[in-house]
Amino acid sequence: MSAAFRTLISFLFIPLNIAVLFSFSVFSPILSLKSGPIFFFSGAIIFAVLYVRFPEFFRKPYILAHELSHAMAGIILGNKIKKIKIKSDSGYVSFGAKPDFITSLAPYIFPFYCALFALIFFAISLFADIKHWRNIFLAAQGFFICFHAANTISVMTSDLQSDFKKTKSVFLSYMAVFFLNLIFFAFIIKMLFPEKTNLTLFFRESFSNLKSISAFMFSSSLKLLSLIKEIL
């Protein structure tokens, strides 16, 4: 993929990301639920407080999730793992072949602990009635979503991570990470509050927003070009 084509794709992501972000308004009925959202946001707030006070405490759990996400994505996409190294302040995964775009960005896209806790909760539900633990599950998901978001933002706003250098397009990587996190979050919301969410409506609204934003950008570009011609 040429540098010019990567740049073009990066800029096309901008209206797409805005369209999807605005579409989260369709999930507003969730706020009418009595207790679920309170526990979810409580979990997120608890993480935020702990993260601000004890940031180093979360360093190694993040490194573990980071490297395992690389490894899982590599295996799923057909790569072979030669070595995994996890230390208290760093880690890496060595692959048999050069990692692809998705494998490089997997830790920034995939909320590892959200998925892990959901799988554990689901496995327990096969053998026991744990409906009365639902609020605990919601709080844990809020905690781990905030964990994923905080660490992803921290890495993306610090010194450039080698994962982004490997993709050969940092801007495209950032746009793709933002988009895929929005999509993952939409599915997580559906999992947590199935009775109040409609993914079909969400994607339909995203498409409608994208058409409106694209039309606005196109008309604005034509007006700008017309203005430039008049000046020249």
Domain residue limits, the chain: 14-32+198-226, 34-192
**What is the β-pairing status of strands 81-86 and 91-95?**
antiparallel
CB atoms within 10 A of CB 20: 22
Q: What is the CA radius of gyration of the chain?
A: 20
For 203-217, what is the mean pLDDT? Answer: 94
- What's the pLDDT at 160? 56
Average pLDDT over residues 188-216: 92
pLDDT tens digits, one per residue of 137-175: 999 999 999 999 999 998 888 765 667 777 677 888 889
Residue 97: which pLDDT band, with cuts at 50, 70 and 90?
A: confident
pTM summary value: 0.84
Give the Cα separation of 165 and 151 in Å (integer): 18
Residue 7 has pLDDT above 90, yes or no: no
Helical (H) or strand (E) element with 94: strand 91-95
